[in-house]
Amino acid sequence: MDRPADDLTARARIRDAAMKLFTERGIEGASIRDIAAEAGVSSGLVRHHFGSKQALREACDRYAKERMLQIGEELVYQGGAAQTDVSAMHPITMPLQTYLVRSMMDGSETATALFLEMVDAGEEFTKTLPTDPSDRRAYAAVLAAMKMGVFVLRDQVSKAIGEDIAGPSGYARLTKAMLDIFTIPVMTPEQAEQLRKYSEEH
């Protein structure tokens, strides 16, 4: 996990180890003992810092959520995804994204709250588009689900493109494909209007 040089504490190591194992095994599949072993500390030290596995999971959720929001703000400040060095961002964002997706699947309220914040931000973003979506909220929700859902289907997407999207090269291809999806129309305005009318009639 990404962290500043002065964050190399036992607490940070435990958090990073927990996020890694929670991502790989889910909340139920990773024990305090497993996390302690991964972090190179004692089980007692894990309990000293976090109290319980649930409290540790909540701390991981908060960290991942806050870090992803911070990265989002940094990207906006730096000019957006098109100006981002994907290879440099990969080791930071990939573990966070996969952790949050797994946490959502495990029923995390914090991870779900982040998803809803993504939808809120997406809804605001639609107001800057040259044309208005017919349903701003649904548009933003589907957009957020598309961005996060790729990681739910990590194995299938990786198999389809012949490269692991968790690796730097595969992640770069994934990011470029998303940019293409967001910028290249898949139907003409006339086709879109026909589909819209059909959906309204049925």
Over range 82-105, report the average pLDDT: 75
pTM for this prediction:
0.68
Residues with Cβ < 8 Å from 113, sequence gap 6 or more? 65
Average pLDDT of the residues of the chain: 84
Q: How confident is the model at residue 2 (pLDDT cuts 50, 70, 90)?
A: very low
* Residue 129 confidence (pLDDT) above 80: yes
Residue 104: name the closest of 92, 118, 90 by CA: 118
Distance CA 123, CA 164 (A): 31
Q: Give the number of C-alpha atoms closer than 13 A to the C-alpha of residue 127, restricted to the C-beta side.
A: 4
Q: How confident is the model at residue 5 (pLDDT cuts 50, 70, 90)?
A: very low
Residues with Cβ < 8 Å from 73, sequence gap 6 or more? none
* Residue 60 confidence (pLDDT) above 60: yes
Q: How confident is the model at residue 84 (pLDDT cuts 50, 70, 90)?
A: low
Distance CA 157, CA 53 (A): 32
pLDDT for the residue numbered 86: 54
pLDDT for the residue numbered 7: 43
Please, are residues 172 and 86 in contact by the beta-carbon 8 Å criterion?
yes
Distance CA 147, CA 133 (A): 18
* Residue 172 confidence (pLDDT) above 70: yes
